[in-house]
Amino acid sequence: MNYARTALLLAAMTGLFLAIGFLIGGEAGMLVALAIALAMNLFAYWNSDKMVLRMYGAQEADRATAPGLYGIVEQLADRAGLPMPKVYVIENDQPNAFATGRDPAHAAVAATTGLLGRLSSEEIAGVMAHELAHIKNRDTLTMTITATIAGAIGMLANFTFLFGNNSRDSNGNPNPLGMVGAVLVMILAPVAAMLVQMAISRSREYEADRMGAEISGRPLWLASALDKLERGAQAIANPEAEQNPATAHLFIINPLHGGSMDNLFSSHPSTDHRIQRLRQMAGAKGPWG
C-alpha cells in the first residue's frame, strides 16, 4: 500500500508540473516542461549524493577512523542483504543521520558527531538499520526525484507569473490564465508540490522504521534512539540544514527547529507516533529505555 501511495503521489506531482507547463504555453509548453524535468532528474540522479554530502561537510570514514560505526553498518548491511555502503561522519553537534545514493550499489550513510556521542551502540544500530532500509527501498532516489520536481515546479510557477499572461499556445490562442490566474498559480503550485513532497517523505519514514526494525531485530533500539534524537534536534540547531531546508526530509529526524508537528507541512511524521508503532512491533507493554 505504501509503494502504491508513493507512486500515486509521484504521478500527481509530475502531472502538476506538466499542467503548469501547459498553462504557460499549451502543448509546446508541456513538452518543454517535460524536457526540463527529465534534464533536472538526470542531473540529480548522478550528482545528488555528492552534492548533499559536500553541503554538510561529510568526511568518509573507514574501519580505522570510525571502527564502531563502520562495524555496525557492515554487520547490518550483511543482514539486510545489501552491498556495504560508504560511511560518512558529519561534524555537527545535533544528533541526526541520513542516507543518500541513487541505488544500493552507490549508497552512503552519514551520522553526525552529535549522534555518535549521545547514543549507545544499540541505538546507533537502530538508526543505521533505518537508513539501510531507505537504501533497500530506494527511497533515496525517490526523495531526490520529488525534491527535484518540487524545485522545478517552483521555477515554472515563477515563469507563469512573468510570461504566462502574454504567452500563447501552439494554436496561437492567448493564455487563459490572465494576471489573476498567473498569481494564483505562482502561489498555489509550490504549496501543492510541497504538500505532495511531504506526504511522500512521511510515508517513506514509517516504512523505513518498520523495515529498519526488522533488519536490526530490535524495534526498541530505534524507538529509544528516536526519543533521544527528537530531544536533541529540538535543543541543538543544525545551521547547514537551516540554510538548505529542502534537504530536511533526508534526515531521520527533522533537523529544522519548530517543524516536528504531525501536520501537512511537516517533512516527518510525529516522533511519538513512530515510537508507538515500534513499541507495538516489539509487543512492549511496559517502560523502555
Quickly count: other Cβ atoms within 10 Å of residue 235's Cβ.
11
Count how many domains the chain has: 1
Rounded CA separation 156/149 (Å)? 10
Of the candidates 73, 170, 48, the one whose C-alpha atom is nearest the C-alpha of residue 130 is 73
Task: Classify residue 288: in a domain, yes or no.
Answer: no
Cell of 11: 504521478
Task: Classify residue 287: in a domain, yes or no.
Answer: no
Q: 75 Cβ partners below 8 Å, 6+ apart?
A: none
Task: Classify residue 153: in a domain, yes or no.
Answer: yes
Average pLDDT over residues 177-194: 65
Is 111:125 a contact under the CB 8 Å cutoff? no
SS3 of 166-198 = HCECCCCCECCCHHHHHHHHHHHHHHHHHHHHH
Task: Classify residue 77: in a domain, yes or no.
Answer: yes
Average pLDDT over residues 5-12: 69
Quickly tell me which residue has 487563459 as its cell. 176
Main-chain dihedrals φ then ψ at residue 167, nearest 5 degrees: -85, 165
| More confident site: 75 or 26 | 75
Task: Classify residue 132: in a domain, yes or no.
Answer: yes
Of the candidates 132, 44, 126, the one whose C-alpha atom is nearest the C-alpha of residue 85 is 132
Q: What is the pLDDT of residues 131-140, one digit of tens each?
A: 999 999 988 8
Task: Classify residue 116: in a domain, yes or no.
Answer: yes
Task: Classify residue 289: in a domain, yes or no.
Answer: no
Residue 98, domain extent: 2-282
Catalytic residue among 74, 122, 123, 131: 131
Quickly tell me which residue has 500527481 as its cell. 12
Cα distances (Å, whole numbers) of residue 91 to 88, 97, 117, 236: 10, 12, 11, 13
pLDDT of the residue at 6 = 63
Q: What is the pLDDT of residues 232-266, one digit of tens each?
A: 999 999 999 888 877 888 899 999 875 444 444 56
| More confident site: 80 or 196 | 80
pLDDT surpasses 60 at 269: yes
pLDDT of the residue at 175 = 53
Annotation marks residue 131 as catalytic = yes
Is 90:113 a contact under the CB 8 Å cutoff? yes
